[in-house]
């Protein structure tokens, strides 16, 4: 039987907010079994919390934003992607303000912090979302679907009319090792004209070549270049893993995305919730038949 997991002790990640440009921090804090994952505003009266759930997704433009009655938190996908890869079930993510540290624009700092304190099994079984039939969502040429698979696998394809990006594809089984090696260090990216437009509106004040890959009309502007030639699609896979945490239960399935960003991921997760005849809640190691195991 696979048991739920949390972390052994609290740990902090520091940095700046992508929009404010001001110093901020978060603390990962252990949580009891069956808690799920919640953001907590430790700086507000009563320390209000917000569950990481698709129903609380309020915006999916350049990033995923969660909102509740008392606060909102944006760009949640980078830190959540590490939770997805590590199969962390129960966690409080305490914030000291409205923003999450952008760090270097990847998930590496969040993953390293979680691994530093280590994980601990709890006394309750983990309930998986086990796909029994394909679930499909499409809008125009954008596609997002998930098919049965004994594990978690991502196939992501992107297409951008930019000479450095073009068409890129990654196909990856997701576990701690593969995430750390292939995805965690992939940075968010943007185009110079879009960054300048955001900054003109008073946003992205903390954005820089230190926390994003920035492209002009033809080239990567970062002096150090790319970490991988296909860093762009790797980051999109990282984003998708973070958005999967809004399912509020670990997925067993193969997620296939074509030109699909945060909006399509949110709609796919909501479609999964609606498709109750296409998945089962199972305890891995006890509920699968021999035919389903192999």
Cβ 156 vs Cβ 242: under 8 Å: no
Helix (H) or strand (E) holding 66: strand 65-67
pLDDT-derived band of residue 289, with 50, 70 and 90 as boundaries? very low
Q: What percent of the chain has pLDDT over 70?
A: 97
| pLDDT over 80 (residue 290) | no
CA–CA gap between residue 53 and residue 247 (Å, rounded) = 6
How far apart are the two ends of the chain, measured CA to CA in Å?
A: 17
Domains and CATH numbers, the chain: 3-293 (3.30.1700.10)
Q: Residue 163: its pLDDT value, please?
A: 97
Q: Which two tokens stand for residue 63?
A: 């990033």
CA–CA gap between residue 24 and residue 234 (Å, rounded) = 26
Per-residue pLDDT tens digits for 10-65: 999 999 999 888 999 999 999 999 999 999 999 999 999 999 999 999 999 889 99
Question: In sequence order, which residues have a C-beta less than 8 Å from that of residue 19 and are 6 or more positions away?
Answer: 74, 99, 203, 204, 205, 206
19 catalytically annotated: no
User: Among the residues of the chain, which ranges form H helices?
Assistant: 77-86, 108-117, 176-178, 192-200, 231-244, 262-274, 290-293
3-state secondary structure of 277: coil
Average per-residue pLDDT for the chain: 94
- Judging by DSSP bridges, how do beta strands 91-95 and 119-125 pair with one another? unpaired
Q: Which two tokens stand for residue 260?
A: 């699909």
């Amino acid at each position: 039987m696979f048991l739920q997991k949390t972390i052994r002790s609290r740990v902090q990640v520091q940095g700046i907010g992508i929009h404010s440009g001001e110093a901020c921090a978060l603390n990962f804090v252990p949580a009891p079994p069956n808690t799920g994952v919640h953001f907590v505003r430790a700086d507000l009266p009563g320390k209000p919390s917000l569950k990481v759930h698709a129903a609380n997704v309020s915006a999916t433009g350049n990033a995923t934003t969660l909102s509740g009655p008392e606060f909102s938190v944006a760009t949640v996908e980078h830190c959540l992607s590490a939770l997805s890869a590590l199969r962390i079930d129960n966690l409080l993510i305490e914030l000291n303000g409205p923003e999450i540290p952008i760090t270097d624009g990847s998930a590496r700092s969040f993953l390293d912090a979680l691994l530093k304190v280590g994980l601990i099994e709890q006394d309750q079984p983990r309930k998986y979302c086990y796909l029994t039939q394909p679930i499909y969502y499409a809008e125009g040429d954008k596609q997002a679907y998930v098919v049965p698979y004994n594990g978690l696998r991502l196939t992501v394809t992107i297409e951008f009319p930019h000479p450095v990006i073009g068409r890129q594809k990654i196909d990856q089984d997701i576990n701690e090792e593969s995430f750390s090696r292939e995805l965690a260090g992939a940075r968010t990216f943007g185009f110079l004209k879009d960054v300048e437009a955001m900054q003109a509106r008073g946003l992205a004040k903390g954005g820089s070549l230190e926390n994003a890959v920035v492209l002009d009309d033809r080239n990567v502007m970062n002096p150090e270049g790319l970490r991988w030639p296909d860093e762009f699609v790797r980051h999109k896979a990282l984003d998708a893993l973070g958005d999967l945490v809004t399912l509020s239960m670990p997925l067993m399935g193969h997620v296939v995305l074509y030109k699909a960003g945060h909006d399509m991921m949110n709609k796919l997760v909501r479609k999964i919730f609606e498709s109750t005849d296409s998945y089962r809640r199972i305890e891995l190691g006890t509920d699968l038949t021999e035919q389903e195991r192999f």
